[in-house]
Amino acid sequence: MRTLAVLKTALTGNYAVAHAVRLAKPHVIAAYPITPQTTIVEKLSEFVAKGELKASFVNVESEFSALAVVYGAAMAGARAFTATSSHGLFYMYEMLWWAAGSRAPIVMAVVTRTLGPPWNIHDEHNDILAIRDSGWAVAMASNVQEVLDLTIQAFKLAESAYIPVAVGLDGFVLSHTVESIELPPQEAVDEFLPPRRPDLPLRLRPGEPITMGNIPSDDRLHAEHLKNIYRASQEAKKLVKSIDAEYGKLVGREYGGMVEGFELEGARYAVVCMGAWCGDAKEAVRSLRREGVPVGLMRIRFVRPFPDEEVAELSGMDRVVVFDRDITPAGGILGREVASVLGRDKVVNVLAGLAGVDFKADEFRKAVKHAVEGEYADRVVLL
Amino acid sequence: MGLELVPVSRPAPGSGGITGTWRTLRPVVDLKKCIDCGICWLYCPESVIDWEKGQKIKIDYTYCKGCGICAHECPTKAIEMAPEAGL
Amino acid sequence: MTVRIDLLPKTKYVVPGNSACAGCGMMIGLKVLGMALGEEAVLSIPASCASVVQGLGPKSGVALPILNVPFASAASVATGMSEAFRQLGVKGQAVVWAGDGGTADIGFAAVSAAAERNSDVLYIMYDNEAYMNTGIQRSSETPKGAWTTTTPTGKREAKKDVALILLAHGVPYVATANIAYPQDFYRKIKRASEIRGFKFIHLFAPCPPGWLFDPSLTVEVARKAVETGVFILWEYDNGELKLNPPSSALVDKSRRKPLVEYLKLQGRYAHLSEDQIKQMEEEIDRKWQFLLRFAQAARPRA
């Protein structure tokens, strides 16, 4: 590993996103304000205004237009970024699918937040999980340093796989919490992330008549396109790993690719979770290990594409406790996803931390203990 | 051809099929009456009329949909809409 | 300055055998756009007749660079393209080619925002006065009295004047145009593309199946709209609003052709009574008076 002139600093998660974007040198940024996303785009507009980032910052009238602007920019060959949250993400819905169907290499930060009613700005994962089938790669960071690193990696992934990438960070828990982090030097980021190809997914230039999106003469052409996007998503799993490894070589931090494993060696039970509260879950795992409970943890970094292979490695566990910070009429989203790999009998799905309610390490510890001891009567546990 | 990752289309005649088959009326030009003004070329919504000043107009019947705008707009009534054979 | 017909480019930007209906007014406009800006324009086209007329991929019936985009997004997508071109040093004009529904209804917030930002976009609204692609449903651009499939007894509300609304945004260039006057439209596109910022052209484009007239009459109907005063050709440039010929010669009401000459060509107005037509005539004159007062106010400073 090389020695780098890293800058140690203290940043909120949102400012970490802004600094990562600055280092990635996008051409176009567009955004519409929504709590708790706002400080990302405030900081970016400040970077642009001060000339620290040479980019167009476009103020728009809605999140739908925020994504439409960066979509147009990305299709015209620009590196483009937007950020949103909760209701704003839902207002983008049609554009999300169109962007993914166009293989537009966009990066978007999603600061996770509950959905109303009632109005509530606190943390929950239903918003980002709702876009999981839109064709976007969907990832979540667990701390401010990872927010920064994952955002930089997301540009590389988007521009390698030609899949738009959503980088999730928990509202307030990460977005507004200051942590001590390291900023990689610009040269390292430049080396990691070269200028993007302007001719993919297509070359859109004056005088070159090419049309994207008119009606196909044969629906099989469209179907083939959909299959290609699926194949690209599967291929993206390998890219996630290689990009993480490459970033690790250049910057000195890597995260394990699609998932992060923690204390899984010798474990008979596994906790599966995603996002910032995995920090609390890890504390619970440490404490349970001290009590002699053989438990480990798998943190989902990328929920799309889904880490099937990594989750399948938990098949030898006696029980897998999946924590969801989301709720649907069918239970927890991660719980069902994990059960689709491991089977329903092995999985206990705990739904907690809903609507921003705190769920601390000790509560994780108790819930895991109950689950592994078979004390929950239901497969879906509402805490 | 490019290396696109998305389905793309490139300009080609007949993107809507052999649209001449839509026609029930056929524009027939009387070149003796034609004054070479280019009005029919200008208004033809289908670009099926070829025209250069000094060269008389030519209609591409493979794709002409038979709308009749050319006949209606012709200042000397040099184009007549005649029923297609068999109709 | 009127461009001589024989000097207009002969490149076929509308390619024969496309999917447009016979006699489509919008296609005449698209042809003119190609002639004026074919080598500079990159188009953002929302869901509309304009997305369908391109025909079936992998062929395209329009020889221009086109990104087809969701219904409400065209102005924002064009903004993104325009900003990308600026940042990447690409010379070109982002153009929106959108229908009246995509502009005045579902896409209006994005259009208004692009205008307010003065984004470098040439926005052309081809106005066929209803949702034609889905089968002739009423839009906010459908004129009062007109039949559509969702106004079976005639629309009760007035047509929204989008061009004036855009003018009120303080953008550098707004104009109306009409497919019966291709050279006027050509000149306006050329002029608009010289200006950096948001430019808006409202293009009147009759629709034979939607307005219920014979396809041979598309240009005739469009021309009659101007000659009867239904549609006024004007241009706002450099802070000055002026009428363009032939509308400029029709300020005196008596010089306009009787409204009925326009209405009788179209089945969508067949149900109108004489009283209703008289009322329409009065409303048209009020529209003229309003525009003329506007023109009076928007004169260049001495």
Class of domain B19-83: alpha beta
Q: In what order do the strands lie in the sheet with A269-273?
A: A259-262, A295-300, A269-273, A319-324, A347-351, A380-382
In tens, the pLDDT along A11-67 reads 999 999 999 999 999 999 999 999 999 999 999 999 999 999 999 999 999 999 999
Which residue(s) pair with C125 in the sheet?
C98, C202
Note whether residue A2 is domain-resident: no
Cβ(C31)–Cβ(B77) below 8 Å:
no
Q: Exposure string (b/e) for C233-270, b if CB count within 10 Å is 16 or more?
A: bbbbbeeebebbebbeebbeeeebeebbebbebbebbe
Confidence class for position C1, pLDDT limits 50, 70, 90: low
Q: Report the chain A residue with the minimal C-alpha distance to residue C95.
A: A206
In tens, the pLDDT along A268-296 reads 999 999 999 999 999 999 999 999 999 99
Q: Which chains touch B (3 or more CB pairs under 8 A)?
A: A, C
The ipTM estimated for the assembled molecules is 0.97
Residues A154 and A102 in one domain: yes
Q: What share of chain C is helix, strand, coil (3-state, %, to 5)?
A: 40, 20, 40
- CB-CB under 8 Å, B11 with A225: no
Provide the domain count of chain A.
2
User: Mean pLDDT across chain C, nearest whole number?
Assistant: 97
Residues A200 and A167 in one domain: yes
Q: What is the pLDDT of residue B14?
A: 98
Note whether residue A145 is domain-resident: yes
Q: Exposure string (b/e) for A81-92, b if CB count within 10 Å is 16 or more?
A: bbbbbbbbbbbb
User: Does the pLDDT of residue C300 top 70, yes or no?
Assistant: no
The percentage of residues in chain C with a pLDDT greater than 90, rounded to a whole number, is 96
Note whether residue A311 is domain-resident: yes
Last residue of a domain, one of A234, A251, A268: A251
- Per DSSP bridges, beta strands A269-273 and A295-300 are parallel
Last residue of a domain, one of A251, A284, A306: A251
Q: What is the pLDDT of residue B39?
A: 98
In tens, the pLDDT along C91-126 reads 999 999 999 999 999 999 999 999 999 999 999 999
Q: In what order do the strands lie in the sheet with C240-243?
A: C59-60, B8-11, A211-212, C66-69, C41-46, C93-99, C121-127, C198-204, C173-178, C234-237, C240-243
How far lies C54's CA from each of A165, A224, B65, C207, in Å? Answer: 31, 21, 15, 17
In tens, the pLDDT along A117-153 reads 999 999 999 999 999 999 999 999 999 999 999 999 9
The percentage of residues in chain A with a pLDDT greater than 70, rounded to a whole number, is 99
Residues A76 and A199 in one domain: yes
Last residue of a domain, one of A235, A251, A267: A251
In tens, the pLDDT along C144-164 reads 999 999 999 999 999 999 999
- CB-CB under 8 Å, C57 with A78: no
Q: What residues make up the domain containing A205?
A: 7-251
Name the residue ranges covered by the structural domains of chain B. 19-83
In tens, the pLDDT along A326-381 reads 999 999 999 999 999 999 999 999 999 999 999 999 999 999 999 999 999 999 99
Cβ(C36)–Cβ(C186) below 8 Å:
yes
Which residue(s) pair with C181 in the sheet?
none
Q: Give the CATH number for residue A334.
A: 3.40.50.920
Quick one: average pLDDT of C117-139?
A: 98
CB atoms within 10 A of CB C282: 10
Quick one: average pLDDT of C174-198?
A: 98
Q: Which has the minimum average pLDDT: A324-328, B83-87, C226-230?
A: B83-87
Residues A192 and A334 in one domain: no
Q: How many CA atoms does the CB half-sphere of C49 hold within 13 Å?
A: 30
Domains of chain C, earliest start first: 16-296 (3.40.50.970)
Q: What is the pLDDT of residue C298?
A: 76
Residues A75 and A114 in one domain: yes
Cβ(A6)–Cβ(A167) below 8 Å:
no
The residue of C2, C18, C67 whose CB has the most chain B CBs within 10 angstroms, and thus the best one to mutate to test that interface, is: C18
- CB-CB under 8 Å, C90 with A205: yes
Nearest alpha-carbon partner for C76 in A29, A69, A91 = A69
Q: Give the CATH number for residue A86.
A: 3.40.50.970
Report the alpha-carbon distance of residue C248 to residue C268 in Å, rounded: 28
Residues A180 and A301 in one domain: no
Quick one: average pLDDT of A144-172?
A: 98
A58 touches C at CB < 8 Å: yes
Residues of B with CB under 8 A from a CB of A: 2-11
Residues A130 and A53 in one domain: yes
